[in-house]
Structure 1
Amino acid sequence: MLARNLLSSVAAIAVAAGLGGAALAQDVPTVTIIAHENPGDAELAERIEASMAEAGTPVDIELIGIPSSGYPDALSLRLLSGEIPDIMYFQGADAEFANQGILEDLRPWIEQSTYLKDALWAHNVARLENYPYLLYVFPARTKSAVVRSDWLEESGLAAPTNLDEWTEFLRAMSESDFDGNGAQDTYGILAPDNTAELDAIFNPSFGVTATWLEQDGEWIHARVSDAERAKLEYYQMLYAEGILDPEYVTSNWEVKEDKFYTGRVAVVMGTAGPVIDIYRTKMQEINEGSDLTLLAPPDGLEAVNVAKEDRGFAIHAMSDNKEAAFAVLDFLASPEGQFIDRLGVEGEHYTMNGDTVEVLPAMGTWYPRFWTVNPDYWSPPVDLLSDVGQGSLAQGAEYFVPDNAFVWPAELASDVDAAEQYYRSSVFRFVSGEWSMDQWDQYVEGWNAAGGNAMTEYARTVLP
């Protein structure tokens, strides 16, 4: 989001609500929101302000933007400095602030809300009961795999449906020259930063069906299971054969997308729904006539964590403007708020002819900044997703399995972080071949020593 001149937003409300400047300065609350920096968000905020003013709940929205790269760390540093806005968008690192009492329990607010109480998805309700500080009203953030349709056709292969077919398909893509540059420089698949996006579609194929698995009659973390070992051995093979892009560990999401659009990688995973449609639109812009094909996961999708939201919006518990802050979040679940947030900018993303809405091609690059409510509560006046985007959401519903993860107590936070850091660094060593799979037992010992023993001991007290 883009920070903007406070006076311009005050003026916008004055016009919309017909109020005098003196009354605004005294009566209209300012709600500060910190989130990702995105083009077009200043205009979005003005439209939200105008609509809320028309509804009789005027606010002044002040946006504080942080670049996407390194967002969680940058947000934490800002909050630790004492600069805490009314509404915060978290993408990790929220638990430390919840444990300090900085984040508001949202359940009482939602219970008395006008719109949000009826707009939540089932997993939102479960997550709020387990962790009431973070809200993200979206379909579960499952991942879907896509490939260029023309490349799939040129390969002569059918879309893969099981692990063997997936392996054959990815190998064929990595041995191709479908981009026509005369060089064999395309990799079959790429996940940014780590193997998390690979896990999203491959976990079930190896028996990693939950965070905690029963092995030899006891609960153990999937990170140290036989199933995890088999999966990492598969990734090691993909890396060794040049199927998995070896730069995955240094490639962020922007690099991943660039490699996808420019033909350096054949298959990527994207968040189901609008993100998949953004990939499709950008691919068509860069490669005229191209389209995307949605690929089915080999054996379903990874289990969905319902212990807490892994990202979302929180309210500052000590804010002087909690009522106004929640009013913004509640408004965004209203029919008017959904229309504004989900359809984008009139004339750029859609046109209106009376009450008829016509979607423009640029709609494929827009995504809601706040909510996508349960369709039983509100549905858009037109289809906002392509068949590929809608199909990715259908995959998430078809393969939905709830995870058995839970929220860790504060006293184990350092153990959880240390074990995860050890896991991520070890995964790269295994996948890259620096470590052989014969060193698995040493890895398990290291993970346990890094915090896994404490985690497992606690888990066995809370799991049935």
Structure 2
Amino acid sequence: MQHLSISRRALLAGLAATPMVGLLSRPARAASGTIRIVMKDLLTTNPEDVAHIGRIEEALAARGHDISIEIVDLPSEGYAEKLNLMLLSGDIPDVIYFQGGDEQIAQQGVLQDLGSLIEGTEHLAPALWPHNTARMANYPYLLYVFPARTKAPVIRRDLLEATGLSAPASLEEWDALLRAIPGIELDGTTVSHGIIAPNNTDEMDAVFDPAFGIDRTWMQDEAGEWIHSRISAGEREKLAWYASLYADGVLDPEFVTSNWEVKEDKFYTGQVGVVMGTAGPVIGIYEAKMAQVNPGAELVLLTPPAGIQAIDVSKESRGFAIPVTTEQTEAVIAFLDFMASPEGQMMDRLGFEGEHYTRDGDTLTPTDKLGAWYPRFVYDNPNHYQPPISPLSDLAQASLQQGVDNFRADNSFVWPADLAAAVDGAETYYRTNVFRFVSGELSTERDWDAYVQGWLDAGGQAMIDHAKAVL
């Protein structure tokens, strides 16, 4: 891994050729210029992406903006790493979509403060969701005007009915349901496992953490001392439960080597019964693809057992950034403000007329392809704007509302740069040992104290010392 100092020198060398511009409080009445956008899954090889950008340019022109938009192609596989290499090479687009790796860049002063830029915008500022506003106050370098990325668990309706059980409400009922799934036959395929999560336990944690009392990152122990949830009594109980599911074949033992594509494929082909998807459009995609692979199959939204989900508001985990050296700040803000406008939302949320919806006078009717469309740039707060038809199915909309209803702001915060190694060390130690506990290599009865000490030694103690000062 390259050191931060090397990254800084390479970035500044690449940026030196681009003149600096002053920060603006809001876009001018008419903006012009060419803006280059790099974004995961926005590609010139996708005709829909190209057509979408083309009509946005036309709409901006109709508003008096002479703005051209260029897509910078970057493969979706390994996007974060490839983006870092592109930036280090000196190729710095005007709009950068980060999916991790932004903090090192922001700490070098390379990203603009977006809070001041969007202040006073006609559409963009009012479009922010409550968690966006909180995150912007804590970390103003990323903007992602989308619902909170809560995880929604789903199951096929016919599989739920085949278990003979009702949709679970408590952890005990969840345990019974997951254990009842393996061995049931659907469409000639025997369901092998009750649940799967890709790569690690993150998606399961989002649903089950609160059921074990883990309702925030920082908790107080019996003595009233601040501790990280990674070493809490609830974490110990949760990992013991995961281990029992793993030992009984309920949790797919291949989860740790399965990416999101494998997870979804196993779900669609009936190999696993329950998966978690990002609330909103992703759940809509799951619903549409499941019906495509298994005609007539319907999905049921399940409820997290504790009914709450702690959401990190320390910063956006992904989103759009504007580098300080771009000459096109005004044009970028004009573009983003348009995407939050009613016209922009019609495009970004509903897709193309005749393809994703039809029009008869003032009446719009969604087609069966609307569920496969997803907004690229902005998903406006419904308190500010609602499209004439819902771009989401009832199931997807319900999953989104579930996340809103279950929302609880976490007490996590952004770490200073000098603690980056400690944070990475503690998290790496945690991830490694979670699988060792879940797989049965370690026991929560026998090895827990040694794990806690190891986590503290790996960087956790430094994190706790800092947290005590912050909290």
For 1:89 and 1:301, the matched residues in 2 are separated by 29
2:63 is the alignment partner of 1:59? no
The amino acid of 1:197's aligned partner reads E
The amino acid of 2:63's aligned partner reads A
Superposed, which structure 2 residues align to 1:251-400 within 5 Å?
Answer: 251-400=258-407
For 1:340 and 1:149, the matched residues in 2 are separated by 32
SS in 2 for 1:268: strand
Contact kept in structure 2, 1:346 and 1:352, CA below 8 Å = yes
For 1:198 and 1:179, the matched residues in 2 are separated by 27
Question: Residue in 1 aligned with 2:38?
Answer: 34
Which of 172, 194, 198 aligns to 1:192? It is 198
For 1:260 and 1:385, the matched residues in 2 are separated by 21
Which of 247, 252, 273 aligns to 1:240? It is 247
Question: Residue in 1 aligned with 2:211?
Answer: 205
For 2:308 and 2:105, the matched residues in 1 are separated by 31
Note the alpha carbon deviations across 1:426-457, whole angstroms, 9 max, x for none.
11111111212211111111211111111110
Question: Residue in 2 aligned with 1:94?
Answer: 102
For 1:334 and 1:186, the matched residues in 2 are separated by 47
Unaligned runs of 5+ in 1: 1-26
Question: Residue in 1 aligned with 2:11?
Answer: none
For 1:261 and 1:52, the matched residues in 2 are separated by 40
1:352 Cα deviation from its structure 2 partner = 2.1
1:411 Cα deviation from its structure 2 partner = 1.1
1:179 Cα deviation from its structure 2 partner = 4.0
Contact kept in structure 2, 1:177 and 1:186, CA below 8 Å = no
The amino acid of 2:40's aligned partner reads H
Note the alpha carbon deviations across 1:77-110, whole angstroms, 9 max, x for none.
2222222111111111111110011111001111
Question: Residue in 2 aligned with 1:162?
Answer: 170
Superposed, which structure 2 residues align to 1:6-25 within 5 Å?
Answer: none
1:130 Cα deviation from its structure 2 partner = 0.4
Note the alpha carbon deviations across 1:228-262, whole angstroms, 9 max, x for none.
11111111111111001111111111111111101
Unaligned runs of 5+ in 2: 1-30
Note the alpha carbon deviations across 1:325-349, whole angstroms, 9 max, x for none.
1211111111111111011122211
Question: Residue in 1 aligned with 2:437?
Answer: 430
SS in 2 for 1:76: helix
Q: Any runs of at least 4 consecutive aligned residues in structure 1 with deviations exceeding 4 A, and if so which?
A: none
Aligned length: 435
Question: Residue in 2 aligned with 1:73?
Answer: 81
Contact kept in structure 1, 2:309 and 2:403, CA below 8 Å = no
For 2:307 and 2:79, the matched residues in 1 are separated by 30
For 2:460 and 2:85, the matched residues in 1 are separated by 28
Question: Residue in 2 aligned with 1:17?
Answer: none
Note the alpha carbon deviations across 1:117-157, whole angstroms, 9 max, x for none.
11111111111000000111111111110001111112211
1:185 Cα deviation from its structure 2 partner = 5.0
Question: Residue in 2 aligned with 1:132?
Answer: 140
1:395 Cα deviation from its structure 2 partner = 0.9
For 2:206 and 2:77, the matched residues in 1 are separated by 22
Question: Residue in 1 aligned with 2:119?
Answer: 111
TM-score by length of 2: 0.90
Contact kept in structure 1, 2:197 and 2:255, CA below 8 Å = yes
Question: Residue in 2 aligned with 1:19?
Answer: none
1:163 Cα deviation from its structure 2 partner = 0.7
The amino acid of 2:466's aligned partner reads Y
TM-score by length of 1: 0.91
